[in-house]
Amino acid sequence: MAIKSVVLSALATLASASPLLHARDSNSTTYVFTNSNGLNFTQMNTSLPNVTIFATGGTIAGSDSSSTATTGYTSGAVGVLTLIDAVPSMLDVANVAGVQVANVGSEDITSDILISLSKDITRMVCDDPTMAGAVITHGTDTLEESAFFMDATVNCGKPVVIVGAMRPSTAISADGPFNLLEAVTVAASPKARDRGAMVVMNDRIASAYYVTKTNANTMDTFKAMEMGFLGEMISNNPFFFYPPVTPTGKVPFDIANVTEIPRVDILFSYEDMHNDTLYNAVESGAKGIVIAGAGAGGVTTSFNAAIEDVINRLEIPVVQSMRTVNGEVPLSDVSSDTATHIASGYLNPQKSRILLGLLLAEGKNLTEMADVFALGTNA
């Protein structure tokens, strides 16, 4: 079957008159239910919740000529309809529609895509009382950044589940189909409400605020080491370990009037690091800087002086995070009497970049930005 991508602008509704069940058509390209906004379903069962899959590409939509290839494949080669057709069991869980947002490797996801996607989910899921939740298929390399963005900007309480795969769709024992089934199941579950955005992969349910990719290759890569998982999937049934909670330091954002995110660069700390990397980033247009620091945000003495110069003279915010997989950068480790340093707390560099960009988009000043980051620090 030829790969077919469908770009649509709204989600399902049960508000229109329809029979109890429109059965799935044998030809998946022939739709049997079209809602009032033009979104097509191959099934509409009024006893099931409605979930829409927003597809962006990545390994879950990857393809290769070899069934044993788990590297070197082409990301984003398969369209959302093909992904849905590959998992017919989803239609026992929810009425599913697909929106092809993009079809790229996750390295090519941009802030423009994220802004548009967040607004679409807010409008089409949050504002539609018949919608249960949303699923975003995504490449894993930058999945945690997009998940953090959705966690910060989609704040209606309905589940937003981000899912990916570590093996392309053409691989033996590809993990994408079952991951997608579990993601739709979580998005359709009332138990998943008011938990923020979540990452569902490898039978685990994780908070988008904390989870990070810990291994470049293995399927059990997404973890929240210190904070743990929200729950797990057993025989496609979600089990949550505790009631809905809000991560300490989480700040919601309304991006209804935001059209772009200012540029924020990440610089990696190392022995004998050069100050010109900082100035080059600013001269190239960065409006904020995140340092992936050694230990708890550490940089060389010379580089620290350059940071203070950029903060005081140019009023560029600099967030000091850590290059380690886990841990905290407390304010006490980076604070100074001569400049407004910002500590990332438990946020890694890539999530610090997303948060700093959102704060810049809101026009916050240095003190206000430092205050927001301080909410997530321990000392």
- Same domain? For 208 and 283 the reply is no
**CA-CA distance, 83 to 63, in Å (whole number)?**
12
- Same domain? For 79 and 117 the reply is yes
- Same domain? For 313 and 226 the reply is no
Residue 171 lies in a domain: yes
Give the active site residue among 59, 185, 212, 377.
Answer: 59
- Same domain? For 343 and 227 the reply is no
Residue 367 lies in a domain: yes
Number of domains in the chain: 2
- The CATH number for 214's domain is 3.40.50.1170
- Element holding 264 (H helix, E strand): strand 264-268
Residue 257 lies in a domain: no
Residue 107 lies in a domain: yes
- Same domain? For 191 and 153 the reply is yes
Q: Between the CA of residue 244 and those of 31, 161, 192, what are the distances in Å?
A: 37, 15, 8
Which pLDDT score is estimated for 31? 67
Rg from Cα positions in the chain: 21
**Each residue of 31-81: pLDDT tens digit?**
677 776 667 777 889 899 999 999 999 988 887 778 776 777 777 778 888
Which pLDDT score is estimated for 145? 98
Domain that includes residue 277, residue range = 264-375
- Same domain? For 223 and 282 the reply is no
- Same domain? For 192 and 283 the reply is no
Residue 4 lies in a domain: no
Binding residues for substrate: 106, 140-141
178-182 long-range Cβ contacts below 8 angstroms, 24+ apart: 178/87, 179/60, 180/53, 180/60, 180/83, 180/87, 180/90, 180/135, 180/137, 181/87, 181/89, 181/90, 181/93, 181/236, 182/233, 182/236, 182/238
- pTM to 2 decimal places: 0.89
- Same domain? For 290 and 209 the reply is no
218: annotated active-site residue: no
- Same domain? For 235 and 285 the reply is no
Give the active site residue among 52, 140, 185, 212.
Answer: 140
42: annotated active-site residue: no
**CA-CA distance, 89 to 98, in Å (whole number)?**
15
Residue 133 lies in a domain: yes
Low-confidence ranges of the chain (pLDDT < 70): 1-31, 36-38, 69, 379
- Same domain? For 312 and 230 the reply is no
Helix ranges, the chain (H): 80-85, 111-121, 143-153, 176-188, 276-283, 301-314, 331-334, 349-361, 366-374
Q: Which of 205, 240, 275 is the last residue of a domain?
A: 240
- Same domain? For 123 and 40 the reply is yes
Neighbours of 164 (CB within 10 A): 31
Which pLDDT score is estimated for 171? 84
**CA-CA distance, 36 to 52, in Å (whole number)?**
15
- Same domain? For 181 and 269 the reply is no
Strands 288-293 and 264-268: parallel
* Maximum CA extent, the chain: 71
Q: Which of 224, 240, 256 is the last residue of a domain?
A: 240
Residue 355 lies in a domain: yes
The pair of structure tokens assigned to 193 is: 């409400």
Residue 250 lies in a domain: no
- The CATH number for 362's domain is 3.40.50.40
